[in-house]
Amino acid sequence: MKIAPSTSSDVELLRLMLAGDGGAFEQLYQRWQSPLYRFALRMSGSETIAEDVTQEVFLTLMRDGRQYSGRGSFAAYIFTIARHRVWRRLQRERWFVNLEIEEGVESDAGLTTDRLIAQADPLADLTRGEMVEAVRRAVIALPAHYREVVLLCYLHELSYAEAAEVIGCELGTVRSRLHRARALLAEKLDAMKTADAPQRNVKLSRRLHELPGI
Amino acid sequence: MNCQEFERTIIDLGCDHLMEAPTPARALAHAESCARCAARLNRERRMTAGLQAFAVEEAAINAPERVGSALRAAFDEQRAAAASPAGLLRFARHKPLWGMAAAAMLLLSTVTAALWLREQRAKVNNAPADLISRPTSQSPPGKSPETLSDPHQARETHSSRVARSAVTRGRRRTHRVKEGADNAGELFPLTFVAKSGPTEFVQTVRIEISRSTLMSMGLPVNIDRVDGLIKADIIIGEDGVPRAMRIINN
């Protein structure tokens, strides 16, 4: 998460921004534009929606920022607004958003610990770039309500309690969704690894042929 | 700790999430003794590493510059509007307040109009009430007995009442007054009336009187029917002395 060099708290910056301080607005924007944009981008799969959502969140702050009571964390507050906007756009434009195939919610019902243990580690033998790309594809392919807990807890480092506040559910629900999301991720990574295996073998054989003396 | 309990802590353990003090140590001790759970733990840790690498790569993504430019413009516009002397601009952003104010004004004007109409109706109903409610006993309010003693005044009084009732109560109520008076004619004050107070209680007594008697009192009578009787109302004061009389035209 990109943090601006300012040491002022988000609440203080918000207060100053609402009082008309342009510097405070700039700092708050620099601090939060990237997390909000990325969250919206990974949730919607659309750069247009991500831009709109980022803009709408800050416009909401300008208009209704005084409604923030300071009781919960500012991160939870701002992600709650973003999540609401994203879901509304997804529901409105669901036929036009180019998301990768989402599997059904119950598709992970057959996942068991034994299966997870029996499978080979899908991220083993991958370079860092390949691993990042594989995880990115797997995360994007998660069903939306699993994807959002992964994004909030792992990419934006919200606590379970903050994620529960953003989503509007119980703490235990966040835990269980994370558990299932990780199991689904492992399954998708396995599937990807299996699908990519022939291609990887071709690449590997080419490299071997390029080596001197072979 | 057994494998089932280990499975419940694997996510937090794989993410190095904070847990209660003895739990991580017990889970790690179990992983050392169980190959399956050790493999599971390694797998989760690699997954966490993958997610962290993904998060680091993602952190470099920023919103396009046009988003920031548009927001800065919006912020400046809002600040200019807030700083403008016309407080109405600030108020205009609170559309719900406008709606509530309009609704309050509408409600207030409606209530005021309803109260005014009710008051006007009450005035109309109360003004002629004494005329309607006392067909046989009259105590003319605000009129001294002198008005009855003066024939012109008495005549004027009755006709003006009728005229007033015609104005205030409308045609229907005026008709009711005439019916209640049994087609009575004008009041003729009797010349021997003694002075009485303005609050004197009077009574109306209907009698039949010969035309000749009326002639002797100086009242105009049809001479051709001088022997007949006619109906008349005598207004009698508290002392039993007649104050006035009117002929009933039936």
Mean pLDDT check: name the lowest of A79-83, B55-59, B125-129, B152-156.
Answer: B152-156
Cβ pair A116, B39 in contact under 8 A? no
- Residue count of chain A: 214
Contact A155 B67 (CB under 8 A): no
Contact A62 B78 (CB under 8 A): yes
Residue B204 dihedral angles phi and psi, to the nearest 5° = -110, 130
Q: Report whether pLDDT(B209) > 90.
A: no
Give the tens place of pLDDT for each residue, A101-146. Answer: 444 444 444 445 555 554 556 666 677 788 888 889 999 999 998 9
B-chain residues near A53 (CB < 8 A) = none
Residue A42: predicted pLDDT: 92
Chains A, B: CB contacts within 8 A come to 111
Distance from CA of B12 to the nearest CA of A (A): 9
Helices (H), A21-69: 22-44, 47-64
CA pseudo-torsion sign A179, A183, A186, A192: negative
Give the tens place of pLDDT for each residue, B86-118. Answer: 555 555 555 566 778 888 888 888 888 888 888
Tell which of A27, A34, A44, A177 to mutate to test the B interface (max B CBs under 10 Å): A34
Domain ranges of chain B: 3-56, 129-248
B-chain residues near A22 (CB < 8 A) = 72, 75-76, 79
Give the tens place of pLDDT for each residue, B63-77. Answer: 999 999 999 999 988
Alpha-carbon gap, residue B14 to A152, rounded angstroms: 17
Burial of A72: CB neighbours in 10 Å, binned 0-12, 13-18, 19+: middle
Beta bridge partners of B205: B234
pLDDT mean across residues, chain A: 80
Long-range contacts of B96-105 (CB under 8 A, 24+ apart): none
Nearest C-alpha neighbor of B176 from the set B135, B141, B139: B135
A-chain residues near B14 (CB < 8 A) = 182
What b/e string do you get for A104-128 counting C-beta neighbours within 10 Å, with b at 16 or more? eeeebeebebeebbeeebbbeebee
Q: Could you give the ipTM of this predicted complex?
A: 0.75
Residue B26: predicted pLDDT: 81
User: How wide is the angle at C-alpha B37 spanned by C-alphas B33 and B41, nearest 5°?
Assistant: 115
Give the tens place of pLDDT for each residue, A49-62. Answer: 999 999 999 999 99
B-chain residues near A186 (CB < 8 A) = 43, 47
Alpha-carbon gap, residue B230 to A12, rounded angstroms: 103
| Domains (range + CATH), chain A | 10-92 (1.10.1740.10), 105-210 (1.10.10.10)
Distance from CA of A34 to the nearest CA of B (A): 5
Q: Which residue has the higher pLDDT, A156 or B175?
A: A156
Contact B47 A150 (CB under 8 A): no
Residue B177 dihedral angles phi and psi, to the nearest 5° = -65, -40
Nearest-CA residue of chain B relative to A128? B53
Contact B63 A37 (CB under 8 A): yes
Distance from CA of A131 to the nearest CA of B (A): 6
Residue B19: predicted pLDDT: 62
Q: What is the DSSP code string of B124-163?
A: HHHTTHHHHH-SS----TT--HHHHHSHHHHHHHHHHHHH
Model confidence, pTM: 0.55
Alpha-carbon gap, residue B191 to B243, rounded angstroms: 8
B-chain residues near A17 (CB < 8 A) = 75
Nearest C-alpha neighbor of A149 from the set A39, A15, A25, A60: A39
What b/e string do you get for A156-189 counting C-beta neighbours within 10 Å, with b at 16 or more? bebbbebbbbbbeeeeebbbebbbbbbbbbbbbb
